[in-house]
Structure 1
Amino acid sequence: MSYQDVPADLLSRLSHRLRDQLYSMITIPDPPNPMEPSLQSRASSLGTLDRLPVELLYEVLMSLDFQSSISFSRASIQGKNIVCSLPAYRDVMKHAPHALAALSRTKLLHFHSASDLHNALRNERCATCPEYGVYLFLPTCERCCWQCLRSKPTRRVVSPTAATKTFALSPKMVRQLPVMFSIPGTYGVACKPTQKSYRLVSVTAAKELAMSIYGSPGDAIEAIIRRRPPNERTESTARSLRAIFSDFACLDSLMVPDQGNTGVDRYFGMASIPFPSLTTPDILEHGLWCKGCEWTFNQHRGRRIPAYVIANMVPADCDPDRVLLGMVRRAYSSVRLSAHIQHCYGAQQLLASQMCKKVERVPSP
């Protein structure tokens, strides 16, 4: 059976939604409703913009941030109708209004163009690894998977004070960085509630600012360490900086050894939100998690899986517990899950078990 032939009912039996994981991020219970085009027939004008072809006006609006587009829609009835007919606005408001609400409440809405958001919606791959990105990282408006949010330093947010210290920046320099305000709520795998809103900046933006000041990654690391107090010029500091400045966008971090340099992410989940993918006009994906991977992890913890099976699944220099738990938390699109279950040990075991139960239920002639 090829992955294209996997029936929908089979996918349903072998998949589920990890709601505790989804709710560890930003949740928006009351997303805004999309604007409806006005049916009023009275004359309306955009002033001098009436001279532009509609196609060119679309290009201009796509380059604007959503906040500016909404302001433009309030200028006139014609402006409202044009914005409502814009594919980026129509798709994002229809399929991901919660993301717009999150960007607005975190004060990041004016940093991203309509085109950026629409491109993220029409894509499905994590921006920093080859896997399915089931979340939107708000500071950069890029898709991201759970593992990259957990392990990649550039998919984190920190306080402006921490950015000042980590990258040897002056307070004046840090004030150039886009600031987001976290939404009070419940975050992280421990479901820790917080009623406080934090001022946060992205590590990616701070890294890019440091690069513009210090030059190459090597020069930046050297300059930052040189500006640290003598007691902080340690190998641990250098390792952490190397993890930030050599963050590759093509590696599956789950399948490489844990370097132990990511540290505790105090603000985990506060800058990300579950985000669907619309890779084709009529198929909206919200992410699926493999029950077979969950079965494998539980069986491994109970020492009920042969060692050679684990050796075939986990690289020799990686911790099996970390890798198998990471697989439990990995999301897939329907197509990706169909391909995955063809070689997933747990999924195949579950299928075999279901087939045996069906045989047992068949009455004897």
Structure 2
Amino acid sequence: MDPVIPAGLQSENVYQFRMEDANTIVKRLAYYNSKFRHSVIWYPSNKFLGVWDGMTYTFSRPSNATLGPDIGRLPMDILYTILENIDIESLIRFRQLNLEARHIVDSIPHGKYQRVIEHAYILLRALFGPPSQLAAKVSLVDIDTALCTAACAICGEFSGFISIPTWKRCCFSCLQRAPELRMQSLAGARKEFGLTKSQLEQLNLFQALPGTYTLEDRPLELKDYKHTIVSIHQAAIISGQPPHPVPPWKQFFNENYMTSCPLPFYDRRSNSHVVESGLSCLGCHYARSHNKTVSTIEKDATAEKLYTTDGFLRHFRICDQAQRLWEMIEAGKELPGALQVIRGAGFEEPREYRYLCHTDRP
């Protein structure tokens, strides 16, 4: 999908650059915005060491154990189909039965299990982590399909996140503002919609995990599991009442952050199996505070967009401010100091913890 930005931020003509400069343009003018990742459900990779042994270890020695007469008689293609579509919690329990079960799960066709474990580890942690226990509601196919989807379900542009209760891929802008993704505390929804006991029982409840859920310098710290969150969209459908209008000054809700997590895009159509976490534009970030012709809301939404590498280069062709910065670089000038700090801190791609296959375990 071609990038869309406000007219006031677009260049007059589509910018032409030499293809040999493409990598330099990306390296100098794109960065990974860690604030976005850290404002939602997020865990540093060292929190996973030793936690997922049952999910990741393989064994080189053969297994003498069997799966029993009933499962053992199933054709492998049928068994694979069953394992792909049962809930992920049951799949992991099955894998822990014995070496034979572990080998079967690891050999699910097209590498589905391996790529989900390797690239969707934060989502898995959110699904399995107490008290949410949502792992019993989604399958390996559900997670793999989300992982291999690039587009935001709301606006169609590149997504770098997933709203867990709605199970929708989303960009950061839609995560904050889209009515379909709006979340609220259970107490707030009960009060707003006058929900009865039977209506409350129909809601999908999400127990917020401890974390920091804001982009502000003074973070909101949620330290316990007592915050229950529901979808406003679902509550409105169940109650038959429209939600209250959102004031212009309140464009996003911390509850939206509490129910979402980063999820990279795995391009399974590519021979090189590219994984994209989403690039931000340094030019759009600079225009946020220096362009006076575009509204703050439009500038914020534009600066929040994420791109694949190819998508960023398409965006660069029409981004006036990014082109101005590139011309400074080509002229041998230094970027403004604040931009150098941002690019220096954010150029390193997020380190997704790689679950290496451990062999010959005792």
1:30-76 superposed Cα distances (whole Å, 9 cap, x missing partner) = 23444223333242222211222211111111111211100111223
SS in structure 2 opposite 1:100?
A: helix
User: Does the CA contact (< 8 Å) of 2:176 and 2:252 recur in 1?
Assistant: no
SS in structure 1 opposite 2:267?
A: strand
Paired residues for 1:143-182 under 5 Å: 143-182=169-208
Distance 2:307 2:299 in 1: 15
Matched pairs, number: 301
Q: Are residues 354 and 90 of structure 1, via their aligned partners in 2, closer, same or farther at CA, if it must alter by over 3 Å?
A: same
Amino acid at match of 2:283: G
The equivalent residue for 1:229 is none
Distance 2:233 2:182 in 1: 8
Q: Are residues 343 and 85 of structure 1, via their aligned partners in 2, closer, same or farther at CA, if it must alter by over 3 Å?
A: same
The offset of 1:266, in angstroms, is: 4.0
Paired residues for 1:51-130 under 5 Å: 51-86=73-108, 87-105=111-129, 106-130=132-156
1:295-337 superposed Cα distances (whole Å, 9 cap, x missing partner) = 222221xx5xxx5xx5xxxxxxxxx111112211211111111
Q: Does 1:339 align with 2:309?
A: no
The offset of 1:15, in angstroms, is: 0.5
SS in structure 1 opposite 2:255?
A: coil
The offset of 1:151, in angstroms, is: 0.7
The equivalent residue for 2:40 is 25
Distance 1:19 1:178 in 2: 29
Paired residues for 1:157-306 under 5 Å: 157-190=183-216, 191-197=219-225, 198-207=227-236, 209-210=238-239, 220=240, 224=241, 237=244, 239=245, 260=248, 265-280=253-268, 282-300=273-291, 303=292
The offset of 1:168, in angstroms, is: 4.5
Distance 2:135 2:185 in 1: 19
SS in structure 1 opposite 2:330?
A: helix
SS in structure 1 opposite 2:332?
A: helix
> RMSD across aligned C-alpha pairs, in angstroms?
2.5
Amino acid at match of 2:143: L
> 5+ residue gaps in structure 2?
1-15, 334-362
Distance 2:19 2:142 in 1: 31
Distance 2:309 2:138 in 1: 29
Larger Rg: 1
* Bigger helix fraction: 1
> 5+ residue gaps in structure 1?
211-219, 226-235, 241-258, 311-319, 359-365
Amino acid at match of 2:286: W
Distance 1:356 1:5 in 2: 17
Instruction: Tell me the percent identity.
Output: 25
SS in structure 1 opposite 2:176?
A: helix
Q: Are residues 207 and 153 of structure 1, via their aligned partners in 2, closer, same or farther at CA, if it must alter by over 3 Å?
A: same
The equivalent residue for 2:62 is 41
Give the TM-score, by structure 2 length. Answer: 0.76
Q: Does 1:50 align with 2:39?
A: no
Q: Are residues 46 and 189 of structure 1, via their aligned partners in 2, closer, same or farther at CA, if it must alter by over 3 Å?
A: same
Q: Are residues 6 and 56 of structure 1, via their aligned partners in 2, closer, same or farther at CA, if it must alter by over 3 Å?
A: farther
Give the TM-score, by structure 1 length. Answer: 0.75
